[in-house]
Amino acid sequence: MRRTSADLFPDGSGLLISMRSVDGHFFWKTPSGGGELQRLVREPMSQYWPTFSPDGREIAFHSEQVGNRNIWVVPASGGPARQGTRTTAWSFGPQWSPDGRMLAFTEGSPEDVWVVPASGGEPRRLTDDPARDGWSWWSPDGREVAFLSWRGGSGDVWVVPAAGGPPRRLTQGAAPGDTLHWSPDGRWIRFESSRSGQEQLWGVPAAGGEAIPVTPPGSSSHVFSPDGKAVFYARTEGVRVRLLESPSDGGRERLLAELEERPGAFGWLTATDGRFLYFTWSQTFSDVWVMDIVGQ
């Protein structure tokens, strides 16, 4: 997992920083323009993979606070965390359903996709296969869950009904990364892959069909605008780093910034609100930076 990352609070009140300190890996809140850090979860064990509920009031994450990795939920304003799963196998990677009632997560060895009520309750298995299934992402209407599976020996994008049922395969030999993105209309699922020999963003129809490239080869660290219409990404050539933007359904890219004169090393893009773009940059430590997105 990335050591330092940032996400925007849905109400625009600040940034959620996920970073490692000398005591462990924890979450912090800071004003979006910079300022003092406020630690959100006071429990001593490290916390990972924070994700906001749709209404922005809670944050789900996974942690080993009771000796085993489980799903937890904490108020976005900070306070005591409540335990969402109580399993003997590791549970990790929580993702909220669009209505905020359910959490999808990965559990087991081999891994499978599960769901559990966000308020607490009995988990329910969505996939059951000897191969690895995991890294789940809800469709915009909450009826399906996309996930990555290594059935057949290669990593591919699959979809399963959220109510339960047989999964269906969408790609062949996609070799995707560990994140998926549904288009707001639910028609496309986008994924990072180096299947062409270089990393880039691809899209596959959610109903089934041929995967097509969305960004040029060599693009990485993709983040989407809040309305899903634009994708921002980096392209690195030696010490030269370019930050670019293009339509999320494919199209001409636009140069936003060149960073090769800055001392240090680019990490990854972490978030955008459509006006500002946040990214990490390492000098002695990995810090979060922000830049304006200038209109055309």
Confidence band for 286, pLDDT divided at 50, 70 and 90: low
Amino acid identity at 37: L
* C-alpha closest to that of 123 among 146, 97, 148, 91: 91
Domain residues for the domain of 230 are 218-296
Please report whether residue 229 resides in a domain: yes
Q: Is residue 71 part of a domain?
A: no
Q: Per the domain annotation, does 146 fall within a domain? A: no
pTM exceeding the 0.85 threshold for the entire prediction: yes
Count of CB atoms situated within 10 Å of the CB of 238: 6
Instruction: Flag whether 243 is in a domain.
Output: yes
Alpha-carbon gap, residue 180 to 136, rounded angstroms: 8
Q: Considering the domain boundaries, does residue 266 fall inside one?
A: yes
283 located within any domain: yes
Q: What is the pLDDT of residues 1-32, one digit of tens each?
A: 345 677 888 888 888 887 776 676 778 888 77
Number of domain units in the chain? 1
- pLDDT over threshold 60, residue 93: yes
Category of 78 on φ-ψ map: left (φ > 0), alpha (ψ -120 to 50) or beta:
left
If we measure between CA atoms, which residue out of 14, 81, 8, 4 comes closest to residue 42?
Answer: 81
Q: Which residues contact 242 (CB under 8 A, 6 or more apart)?
A: 234, 235, 236, 255, 257, 258, 259
Which 3-state string (H, E, C) describes 22-53? CCEEEEEEECCCCCCCEECCCCCCCEEEEEEC
d(CA 279, CA 220): 13
For residue 224, which of 264, 260, 190 has the smallest C-alpha distance?
190
Does some domain include residue 273? yes
Confidence of residue 251 (pLDDT cuts 50, 70, 90): confident
Query: 242 lies in a domain?
Result: yes
